[in-house]
Amino acid sequence: MKIKNIAILTSGGDAPGMNAAIRAITRYALGQNINVFGVNRGYTGLRNGDIFQMNLRTVSDILHRGGTILYSARDSEFLSENGVKQAVETCNKNEIDVVVAIGGNGTLNGIKKLSDMGIKCMFVPASIDNDMPYTEYAIGFDTATNTAVEMVDKIRDTTQSHEKCSVVEVMGRHCGDIALFTGISVGAIAIIVPEIECDFEKDVIERIKITKNLGKRHFIVIVSENCFDSSKIAKSIEEKTGVQTRCTILGHVQRGGSPTIRDRVVASLMGCKVVDNILDKKFNKAIALRCDKVINIDIDEALKCKKNIDLNLYIHALQISI
Ligand code: F6P
């Protein structure tokens, strides 16, 4: 059976590099005489039939842009029986042979539902949180972490001048990767992540007091969102150590911006892998990066994997921040 039409959607929190993936899939597929359709606003657009045909120029000038030209949405209705049925109807009506979804864990759950209904699917991981258990890397993480580091470097300048402590909250939902990689890159005195229990007195207060006695004059504490109330932490550090402390919540700045080289390259290669699979008639695959290689995993297998934090990185980050 020849694949004639494919549809691409982006869903969940956007991630820099999504556009690079859309571009790669579109251009490679068109070159193989496969028609490409874009779906607006993720699964919402798939339910509502908000779909349009793309050409080589639809994806011009987007490789370097953050966000997604296809827009994104979090669509809880899609997970209902009726929601998936509506999506299947859109696929049938438009003769879509394969749906390619680009997104995070929620998007992967959605694509599993669609594949269970008999639609051929492909999945590309994109999440600034890097919280997808089945792949070592998700598109957007490098850009988000570089943004976080750039912001903390700026905060650090003023923290140093005034000999203060800065508590900086980064994104991550329930995954500490942004905090961990930012923490080691900025020399944080403490890194608070959801995967590792934090003894506030020992891991934060004691470390500040000890290193202060060793001559350290300014301090950065990185907190992953949803772990603690960061402003309360800042207040408590000031009270218990006597070091003036300020709190900054970085927020959505981490989700935007031009993708880094790593994100452009990984997104482009993952996009090409999708089309390679389609040409080889391999479907219902999640694309992954493992040991720096772009590979496929069955969507069912991908959903069974568990994510671990890099404990080694955490231990070393703290050993050298004294
Ligand atoms: O998953 C990406 C992410 O930015 C998380 O880090 C964060 O918890 C969440 O999305 C925020 O989502 P929203 O912008 O929908 O509030």
**CA 173–ligand 1 middle distance (angstroms):** 6
Candidate from 102, 108, 173 with most ligand 1 atoms within 8 A of CB, to mutate? 173
pTM beyond cutoff 0.95: yes
- SS percent in the chain: helix, strand, coil, step 5: 45, 20, 35
Catalytic residues: 129
Tokens of 208: 């500040």
Classify 43 in phi/psi space as left (phi over 0), alpha (psi -120 to 50) or beta.
alpha
| Per-residue pLDDT, 270 | 98
What is the spatial distance between Cα 314 and Cα 180, in angstroms, rounded to a whole number? 7
Q: Exposure string (b/e) for 50-74, b if CB count within 10 Å is 16 or more? A: bbeebeeebbeebbebbbbbbbbbe
| Per-residue pLDDT, 303 | 98
Nearest atom in ligand 1 to the alpha carbon of residue 225 is 8
| Per-residue pLDDT, 1 | 78
Per the CB < 8 A criterion, the answer to whether 290 and 46 are in contact is no
- CA pseudo-torsion sign 193, 196, 200, 204: negative
| Per-residue pLDDT, 58 | 98
What pLDDT tens digit does each residue of the chain (322 aa) get?
Answer: 799 999 999 999 999 999 999 999 999 999 999 999 999 999 999 999 999 999 999 999 999 999 999 999 999 999 899 999 999 999 999 999 999 999 999 999 999 999 999 999 999 999 999 999 999 999 999 999 999 999 999 999 999 999 999 999 999 999 999 999 999 999 999 999 999 999 999 999 999 999 999 999 999 999 999 999 999 999 999 999 999 999 999 999 999 999 999 999 999 999 999 999 999 999 999 999 999 999 999 999 999 999 999 999 999 999 999 9
Tokens of 236: 């408590």
Candidate from 127, 141, 226, 255 with most ligand 1 atoms within 8 A of CB, to mutate? 255
What is the spatial distance between Cα 196 and Cα 68, in angstroms, rounded to a whole number? 33
Residue 183 CB contacts under 8 Å (≥ 6 apart), including other chains: 191, 222, 317
Kindly list the strands in the beta sheet with 190-192, ordered across the sheet, starting from the edge strand earlier in the chain.
Answer: 190-192, 219-224, 165-170, 245-249
**Hey, whose CA ends up nearest to atom 2 of ligand 1?**
13
Alpha helices, DSSP H, located in 188-304: 207-213, 230-241, 261-279, 299-302
State whether the beta carbon of 128 lies less than 6 angstroms from ligand 1.
yes
Nearest of 198, 264, 215 to residue 64 by alpha carbon: 264
Classify 33 in phi/psi space as left (phi over 0), alpha (psi -120 to 50) or beta.
left
State whether the beta carbon of 172 lies less than 6 angstroms from ligand 1.
yes
